[in-house]
Amino acid sequence: MAADTVTRAEQIVYLAEWAARYKCSLQLNGEVGFGRDCVGILKDSHYIDTADAKNATAYNHEAEPGSWWEPEDSYHKHDCLAVLGHGDDALTQLHEWVKWLDGHGWGIEDTYRKPASSIDLAVHGISLPKLVRLPDWPDRGAAENGP
């Protein structure tokens, strides 16, 4: 379906179901950074990290044009699955992004890290949910540029 033919309700259902597949949730009225409004996908209280996925496609074997896409208003201070703003435009951008990720073999996996200190442990915990290439995803060559 083209983005302009998908209703807000259909976008929300798709995003919530995709998030639930990975034991995550859709946040429609979230904040990221220092109080910036956003919509995004969360695991517990953390937006899903996209840095490794973005770097893998930009700098490694998937460096063909179009191997990574994110919407114009994706949060830019930290690579995570969040789009700045509340409302229809932000929701549509998140929907297009997640549809693109899903169609290009990306999913969410819990990874674990060793905290540097007890403060780091208290603030960030030990788990880091992030985007990963799903193991059963076939190598289909260069992906399309955006939705």
For residues 98 and 93, give the distance between their C-alpha atoms in angstroms, rounded to a whole number. 9
Whether the CB-CB separation of 15 and 98 falls below 8 Å is answered with yes
pLDDT at 14 exceeding the cut of 90: yes
**CA dihedral (114, 120, 121, 127) positive or negative:** negative
pLDDT of residue 133: 87
pLDDT at 81 exceeding the cut of 50: yes
User: What one-character DSSP code corresponds to residue 7?
Assistant: -
User: What one-character DSSP code corresponds to residue 143?
Assistant: P
pLDDT at 146 exceeding the cut of 60: no
Q: Is the pTM of this model over 0.95?
A: no
pLDDT of residue 144: 45
Q: For residue range 47-69, list pLDDT tens digits in order.
A: 999 988 888 765 544 545 457 88
Q: Where are the domains of the chain?
A: 3-133
pLDDT of residue 139: 54
For residues 83 and 92, give the distance between their C-alpha atoms in angstroms, rounded to a whole number. 10
pLDDT of residue 4: 60
Whether the CB-CB separation of 98 and 41 falls below 8 Å is answered with yes
Closest CA to 83 of 68, 64, 72: 72
For residues 37 and 35, give the distance between their C-alpha atoms in angstroms, rounded to a whole number. 6
For residues 40 and 79, give the distance between their C-alpha atoms in angstroms, rounded to a whole number. 12
